[in-house]
């Protein structure tokens, strides 16, 4: 057994080691390659470092290699006489129909006005062409903008054209493109495709990913943004006056770019230990402090312009009682840009914050600018003060784009209604909402481990937190403050009494917290496909703050046995715990859930009929127990009205979500490699495939054997990567031709899965 029921038994890192890793005294888990590549990117020459190899002009456009680049040494420049002219790459035969992909690129224009750039796919079935716009952005002259989104290859046959391209703007305006990316969407990335405007992020230190392929793969498989934890704070960038050090921050930013993502800058204006001692070591005038701050903002934002899409301009300026942080109420945490000495606006309240935003906008007009703070996810004195300040900023036209809500939580029950009301008022201001530093710390024993009950409860809190935020259209980012339990700020600031706050454990395996996030994204009923329904029923979407993501699917039943069938993904075969969220109400009755495998008409009831009657509306979760799913894929979930409750006036049922938690599941090749043919005396270049299981992001091991060792010995098969992204390469023996069947074996330590791929080596003499 593995998964939830024996989660703790899979954790092998001793407590002392965990504490050392968490405190930054160790470099993480076992070292891998010195420089982690991005094997999942399916584009040829994605950064144009090999010139124009793999690319051509879209719609007849002329393209050339350019040293005006986003990163590296080259980009591509498109000379354009029409709006649809751009740069493209043929993806036919590389991408699998029905599989969602996360795609991105960076684009720039040089123009006197803002221009529109677009990332698209063009597919042709027979003679019918279809162009799908994935992302459209406005970009100022000389700036780079990140285009990102999802694309699923059409299932129609025959598909005779599939092209990735970037196009726009107005005819005559030169377009530059760099750092393009296409990769199969997996895990949390795939689940987040239900919310196209939402991105998922994680923070990291610069010592982890360069030597740890497991860590790198955990990020690449699940997150869109890799952000700095401390490396873009004042001290991290300017440790001594006018000496700026960017290398550590840039290593994280470049890592995110390699995996199709972007990063947030955290933060420009803060107090405390991340302000360097050279600022605090002498008494300065407000004018001198102002010069220091403006110089720092100008220099840093100019350097990162076009590479950091968001900035936390001011961080944690408010006290718990709603007053501004100053040397009076917060002694010892100097310097304070607000007062003593401040930058000259101490008598004008939050004016120093407003001025910081205005200055940042001048130096980086394209980045999204955020105010960021902690303990403000509920309505309280602090969040009230922030709300009034941001309301005033919006009214005055201060350049602020959003509110960053840190959301550091403990194992206390999450207060959904209070959080919802708080988010609502900030959305009403028109601001973007971001959860910027999400973690849920738990009490731990002397070995650094939380109890099984606490770990289960943590998964519920992640589910509730994200599930509430998804109800807001302005919610654009959920950023976890770290990736795995072995590296987190919590230990250092809790005297090791609390810990294990993240989605992955010390082995970089998925915890119930991971599945809490996955279910919040993947299981909302209003996002599920409606496959079927009884002839006399109707269904509709309902909106209510009582529901996760503030919406649900309503079955308007008229008689017993009226039903609706929803479809949701079962990522692995095996035993799962199934829970459903329903809205109890006075017009409801009993409901029976039944399931059927993909493409089947045979349904099996699971659990007993559930009574959803209540005198008043009440959201409730029903636990239907453990259920065996003998295959992976898109399963059907049929909700049938059994009968009305004795007090109910009708049979209407509102389905909130389907929540699935793995208990005992097998690994799976979610995207196996295609059969391959190569000439004799040549190597099989690395071929991408996906292998995953319910817990392993770090522990899944894939090995390969050859059926014809006289052609390809087992030792000549090389598997690289870590779950979910792997590659296989092969070196046939010299002057040999023939065929071999390569058997891949995925082993998570308990269960296995196999997959075969054919390799044909052609005799060049024929």
The gap from C-alpha 75 to its chain's centroid, in whole angstroms, comes to 26
The gap from C-alpha 348 to its chain's centroid, in whole angstroms, comes to 39
Q: Are strands 115-125 and 128-139 parallel, antiparallel or unpaired?
A: antiparallel
- Conformation bin of residue 196: beta by default, left when phi > 0, alpha when psi is -120 to 50: alpha
Cα–Cα nearest to 55, from 184, 185, 183, 180: 180
E strand or H helix at 150, and its extent? strand 144-152
Strand order in the sheet with 725-730: 668-671, 684-692, 725-730, 717-722
**Helices and strands in the chain: count of H runs, count of E runs:** 13, 39
DSSP 261-296: -BEEEEEEE--GGGS-HHHHSS---HHHHHHHHHHH
Locate 608 and state its tokens. 């007993």
- Conformation bin of residue 292: beta by default, left when phi > 0, alpha when psi is -120 to 50: alpha
Beta bridge partners of 618: 584
Locate 281 and state its tokens. 């070591």
Instruction: Judge residue 150's burial from the number of C-beta atoms within 10 Å of its C-beta, 0-12 exposed, 13-18 middle, 19 or more buried.
Output: middle
Backbone angles phi, psi at 292, to 5 degrees: -60, -45
Does residue 353 have a cis bond before it (omega within 30 degrees)?
no
E strand or H helix at 214, and its extent? helix 213-222
Handedness of CA 48, 52, 55, 58 (dihedral sign): positive
In angstroms, the CA 665 to CA 632 distance is: 10
Give the count of alpha carbons within 13 A of 332, CB side only: 0
Q: Are 77 and 63 in contact (CB under 8 A)?
A: yes
Beta bridge partners of 556: 538
The angle, 0 to 180 degrees and rounded to 10, between the axes of the packed helices 381-396 and 416-428 is 20
In angstroms, the CA 294 to CA 613 distance is: 61
Q: Are 722 and 690 in contact (CB under 8 A)?
A: no
In angstroms, the CA 178 to CA 201 distance is: 22
Cβ neighbours of residue 362 closer than 8 Å, sequence gap 6 or more: none
Q: Are strands 402-405 and 368-373 parallel, antiparallel or unpaired?
A: parallel
Catalytic residue list contains 40? no
Locate 46 and state its tokens. 């994605």
Q: Are 266 and 253 in contact (CB under 8 A)?
A: no
Catalytic residue list contains 316? yes
Instruction: Give me the catalytic one of 437, 526, 575, 692.
Output: 437
The residue count for the chain:
766
Does residue 158 have a cis bond before it (omega within 30 degrees)?
yes
Instruction: Give me the catalytic one of 115, 250, 316, 575.
Output: 316
DSSP 501-555: -SSB-TTSBBPHHHHHHHHHHH-BGGGSEEEEE-TT-EEEEEE-TTSGGGEEEEE
- Tell me which residues are annotated as active site: 316, 437
């Amino acid at each position: 057994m593995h998964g939830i029921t024996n989660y703790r038994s899979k954790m092998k890192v001793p407590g002392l080691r965990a504490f050392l890793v968490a405190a930054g005294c160790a470099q993480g888990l076992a070292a891998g390659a010195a420089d982690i590549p991005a094997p999942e990117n399916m584009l040829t020459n994605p950064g144009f470092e090999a010139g124009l190899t793999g690319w051509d002009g879209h719609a007849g456009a002329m393209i050339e290699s350019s040293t005006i680049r986003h990163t590296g040494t080259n980009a591509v420049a498109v000379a354009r006489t029409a709006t649809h002219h751009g740069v493209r790459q043929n993806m036919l035969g590389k991408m699998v129909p029905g599989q969602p992909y996360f795609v991105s690129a960076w684009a720039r224009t040089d123009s006197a006005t803002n221009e529109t750039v677009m990332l698209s796919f063009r597919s042709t079935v027979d003679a019918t062409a279809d162009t799908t716009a994935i992302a459209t952005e406005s970009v100022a002259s000389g700036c780079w903008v990140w285009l990102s989104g999802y694309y699923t290859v059409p299932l129609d046959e025959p598909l005779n054209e599939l092209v990735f391209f970037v196009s726009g703007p107005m005819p005559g305006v030169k377009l530059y493109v760099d750092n393009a990316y296409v990769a199969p969407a997996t895990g949390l990335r795939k689940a987040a495709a239900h919310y196209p405007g939402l991105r998922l992020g994680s923070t990291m230190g610069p010592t982890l990913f360069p030597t740890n392929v497991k860590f790198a793969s955990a990020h690449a498989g699940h997150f869109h943004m890799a952000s700095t934890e401390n490396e873009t704070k004042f001290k991290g960038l300017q440790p001594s006056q006018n000496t700026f050090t960017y290398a550590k921050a840039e290593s994280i930013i470049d890592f995110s770019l390699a995996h199709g993502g972007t990063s947030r800058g955290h933060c420009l204006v803060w107090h405390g230990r991340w302000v360097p001692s050279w600022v605090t070591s002498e008494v300065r005038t407000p004018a001198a402090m102002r010069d220091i701050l403006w110089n720092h903002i100008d220099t840093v934002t100019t350097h990162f312009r076009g590479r950091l899409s968001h900035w936390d301009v001011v961080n944690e300026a408010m006290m718990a009682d709603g007053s501004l942080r100053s040397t009076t109420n917060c002694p010892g945490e100097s310097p304070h840009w607000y007062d003593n000495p401040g930058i000259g606006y101490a008598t004008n309240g939050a004016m120093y914050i407003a001025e910081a935003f205005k200055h940042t906008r001048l130096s980086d007009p394209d980045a999204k600018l955020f105010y960021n703070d902690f303990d403000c996810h509920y309505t309280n004195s602090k969040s009230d003060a922030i709300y009034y300040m941001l309301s005033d900023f919006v009214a005055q036209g201060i350049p602020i784009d959003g509110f960053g809500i840190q959301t550091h939580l403990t194992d206390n029950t999450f207060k959904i209604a209070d959080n919802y009301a708080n988010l609502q008022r900030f959305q009403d201001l028109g601001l973007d909402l971001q959860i910027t530093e999400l973690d849920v710390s738990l009490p731990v024993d002397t070995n650094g481990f939380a109890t099984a009950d606490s770990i289960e409860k943590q998964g519920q809190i992640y589910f509730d937190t994200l599930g509430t935020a998804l109800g807001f259209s302005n919610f654009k980012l959920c950023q976890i403050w770290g990736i795995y339990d072995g590296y987190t700020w919590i230990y250092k600031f809790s005297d090791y009494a609390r810990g294990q706050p993240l989605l992955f454990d010390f082995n970089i395996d998925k915890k119930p917290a991971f599945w809490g996030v996955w279910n919040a994204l993947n299981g909302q009923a209003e996002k599920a496909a409606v496959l079927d329904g009884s002839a006399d029923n109707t269904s509709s979407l309902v909106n209510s703050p009582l529901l996760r993501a503030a919406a649900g699917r309503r079955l308007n039943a008229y008689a017993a046995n009226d039903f609706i069938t929803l479809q949701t993904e079962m990522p692995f075969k095996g035993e799962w715990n199934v829970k459903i969220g329903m809205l109890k109400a006075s017009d409801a009755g009993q409901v029976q859930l039944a399931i059927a495998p993909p493409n089947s008409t045979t349904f099996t009831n699971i659990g007993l009929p559930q009574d959803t009657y209540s005198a008043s509306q009440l959201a409730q979760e029903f636990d239907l127990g453990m259920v065996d799913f003998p295959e992976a894929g898109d399963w059907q979930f049929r909700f049938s009205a059994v009968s009305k409750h004795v007090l109910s006036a009708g049979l209407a049922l509102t389905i909130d979500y389907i929540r699935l938690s793995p208990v005992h599941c097998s690994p799976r090749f979610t995207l196996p490699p295609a059969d391959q043919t190569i000439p004799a005396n040549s190597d099989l270049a690395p071929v991408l495939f996906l292998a995953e299981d319910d817990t392993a992001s770090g522990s899944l091991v894939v090995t390969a054997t050859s059926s014809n060792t006289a052609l390809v010995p087992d030792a000549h098969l090389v598997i690289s990567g870590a779950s979910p992204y792997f590659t296989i390469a092969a070196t046939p023996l010299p002057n040999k031709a023939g065929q071999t069947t390569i058997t891949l074996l995925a082993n998570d330590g308990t269960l296995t899965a196999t997959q075969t791929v054919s390799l044909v080596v052609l005799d060049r003499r024929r």
